[in-house]
């Protein structure tokens, strides 16, 4: 069983495990000052310090370059100040000025249609900007790798697996390796390969689609959050669904939220339990502290006048074995192999799939795979950035083991703490 958390934001959008913040821009008589900060130690981030930067200049440690000289595509405002005001809405982006400039320039150069699409839509905000910057960085970092152009073509055509392959190759390049896309071996072509300390390691990458039942559940959750927000203002609403939700029960749950006593759980028999915390009341741990915690704006102890709806549903996804078996035949037993799985569309795949995968790795079966690496991602902050969780499952029975330095490197970029969770140790199949 897994848990899905969805929150309807106060501006009518919705996202998973995303934190909203008020504007972080400070205004003075002489300068518009933006605070730019990022977690220490994350590849490509700044050093983690929060430094006010007057518009027109970067801090001395990044070269004292004039912000007016930073290359921001016209579609994103044409200047850093306009980009921060009009696209970031004054908020704090978890990437340096140089990284954002490089990313947006690469995105325009390599995928101009995507830039045109973003510019033509009315939606703005940190979550949109963070996703665009992350995509641009993946393209920029991965472009030198052999076979990049074919992956870009597939990405533009809408293949989700192409994005996941970019994520893998970008991580490998950030770790100092020189991977390539589309690596041939034994008459097959795997998604990527890399030399690790003189040993060839091959990768197959898969991004399972959301299951049909999961998609239907998600649509119902979005309908429910919209209906609840329409009649509940200046409050935080928590809804824990006890079973998949038919459309006919939406009104019942929405009414229960409206009439529930503040700050107390109310049971909707056989459907859900709900809790509403009104403006000015003390905030309690989300779902009583069971699971990841979401902060809305600067609300840490008292509910403000913002509005948020968080819905959680117990769900199950048992496709791990089928996905593994579908990919296993690609591998050669002559080399070290890693299966990489993007579980973003799987119901809490980071919790349920590692154990399922470990049970498939046996002393006499599935020995061509030396490790399975799972990841998911979300746009989180502050400062806002796309952050990923990684989990490694090691096969001690593999014909050829995967170099431990590679697995340790992948684990080092895990950002579970940004999701409000502890980093999970690797699993060794037994």
pLDDT value at position 243?
73
Which of 124, 142, 160 is the last residue before a domain boundary? Answer: 142
Instruction: Note whether 394 and 427 are within 8 A (CB).
Output: yes
Residue 357 located in a structural domain = yes
Instruction: Note whether 164 and 398 are within 8 A (CB).
Output: no
Residue 57 located in a structural domain = yes
pLDDT value at position 212?
52
Residue 8 located in a structural domain = no
Cα–Cα distance measured from residue 60 to residue 53, given in angstroms and rounded to the nearest whole number: 10
Map tokens 């096969």 to a residue.
395
pLDDT value at position 387?
93
Do 186 and 263 reside in the same domain of the chain? no
Torsion sign over Cα 282, 287, 291, 296: negative
Do 260 and 301 reside in the same domain of the chain? yes
Which of 315, 343, 369 is the last residue before a domain boundary? Answer: 315
Domain interval for residue 302: 234-315
Sheet holding 371-380: strands in order across?
180-185, 188-196, 199-206, 336-342, 371-380, 385-394, 427-428
Do 360 and 296 reside in the same domain of the chain? no
Residue 26 located in a structural domain = no
Residue 89 located in a structural domain = yes
Do 283 and 253 reside in the same domain of the chain? yes
Do 306 and 330 reside in the same domain of the chain? no
Residue 15 located in a structural domain = no
Do 242 and 379 reside in the same domain of the chain? no
Residue 174 located in a structural domain = yes
Do 329 and 274 reside in the same domain of the chain? no
Residue 73 CB partners (closer than 8 Å, separation 6+): 104, 105, 107, 108, 115
pLDDT value at position 396?
97
pLDDT value at position 65?
37
Do 131 and 58 reside in the same domain of the chain? yes
Strand partners, 180: 193
Cα–Cα distance measured from residue 131 to residue 379, given in angstroms and rounded to the nearest whole number: 7
Do 305 and 324 reside in the same domain of the chain? no
Which of 127, 142, 157 is the last residue before a domain boundary? Answer: 142
| pLDDT (tens place) for every residue of the chain, 430 residues total | 444 333 333 333 333 333 333 333 333 333 333 333 333 333 333 333 333 332 233 333 333 334 555 789 999 999 999 999 999 998 899 999 999 999 999 999 999 999 999 999 988 999 899 999 999 999 999 999 999 999 999 999 999 899 999 999 999 999 999 999 999 999 999 999 999 999 999 999 999 876 555 667 777 888 888 888 888 777 889 998 877 777 678 889 989 998 889 999 998 888 888 999 988 888 788 787 655 444 443 344 555 556 688 887 655 556 788 899 999 999 999 999 999 999 988 877 888 899 999 999 999 999 999 999 999 998 887 889 999 999 999 999 999 999 999 999 999 999 988 777 788 899 999 9
Do 411 and 330 reside in the same domain of the chain? yes
Number of domains the chain is built from: 3
Do 348 and 359 reside in the same domain of the chain? yes
Do 257 and 202 reside in the same domain of the chain? no
**Where residue 199 sits, what CATH number does that domain have?**
3.40.1350
Residue 20 located in a structural domain = no
pLDDT value at position 319?
78
The predicted model scores a pTM of: 0.67
pLDDT value at position 57?
31
């Amino acid at each position: 069983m897994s848990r899905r958390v969805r929150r309807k934001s106060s501006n009518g959008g919705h996202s998973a495990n995303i934190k909203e913040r008020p504007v972080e821009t400070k205004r003075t008589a002489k300068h518009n000052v933006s605070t730019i900060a990022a977690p220490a130690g994350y590849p490509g981030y700044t050093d983690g310090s929060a430094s006010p930067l007057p518009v027109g200049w970067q801090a001395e440690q990044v070269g004292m370059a004039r912000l007016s000289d930073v290359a921001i595509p016209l579609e994103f405002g044409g200047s850093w100040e306009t980009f921060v005001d009009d696209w970031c809405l004054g908020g704090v982006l978890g990437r340096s000025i140089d990284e954002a400039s490089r990313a947006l320039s690469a995105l325009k150069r390599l995928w101009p249609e995507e830039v045109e699409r973003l510019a033509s839509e009315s939606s703005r905000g940190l979550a949109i900007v963070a996703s665009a910057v992350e995509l641009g960085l993946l393209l920029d970092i991965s472009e030198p790798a052999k076979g990049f152009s074919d992956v870009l073509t597939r990405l533009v055509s809408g293949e989700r697996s192409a994005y996941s392959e970019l994520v893998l190759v970008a991580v490998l390049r950030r770790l100092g390796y020189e991977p390539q896309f589309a690596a041939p071996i034994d008459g097959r072509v795997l998604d990527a390969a890399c030399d690790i300390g003189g040993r060839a390691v091959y990768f197959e990458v898969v991004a399972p689609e959301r299951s049909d039942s999961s998609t239907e559940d998600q649509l119902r959750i979005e309908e429910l959050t919209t209906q609840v927000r329409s009649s509940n203002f200046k409050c935080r609403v928590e809804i824990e669904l006890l079973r998949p939700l038919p459309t006919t029960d939406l009104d019942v749950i929405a009414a229960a939220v409206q009439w529930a006593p503040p700050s107390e759980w109310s049971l909707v028999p056989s459907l859900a339990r709900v809790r509403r915390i009104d403006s000015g009341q003390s905030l309690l741990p989300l779902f009583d502290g069971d699971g990841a915690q979401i902060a809305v704006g600067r609300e840490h102890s008292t509910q403000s006048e913002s509005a948020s709806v968080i819905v959680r549903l117990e769900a199950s996804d048992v496709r791990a074995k089928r996905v593994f078996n579908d990919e296993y035949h690609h591998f050669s037993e002559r080399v070290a192999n890693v299966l990489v799985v993007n579980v973003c569309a799987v119901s809490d795949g980071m919790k349920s799939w590692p154990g399922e995968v470990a049970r498939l790795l046996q002393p006499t079966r599935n020995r061509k795979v030396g490790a399975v690496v799972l990841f998911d991602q979300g746009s989180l902050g502050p400062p806002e950035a796309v952050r990923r969780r990684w989990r490694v499952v090691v096969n001690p029975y593999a014909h050829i083991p995967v170099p431990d330095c590679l697995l340790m490197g992948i684990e080092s970029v895990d950002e579970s703490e940004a999701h409000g969770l502890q980093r999970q140790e690797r699993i060794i199949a037994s």
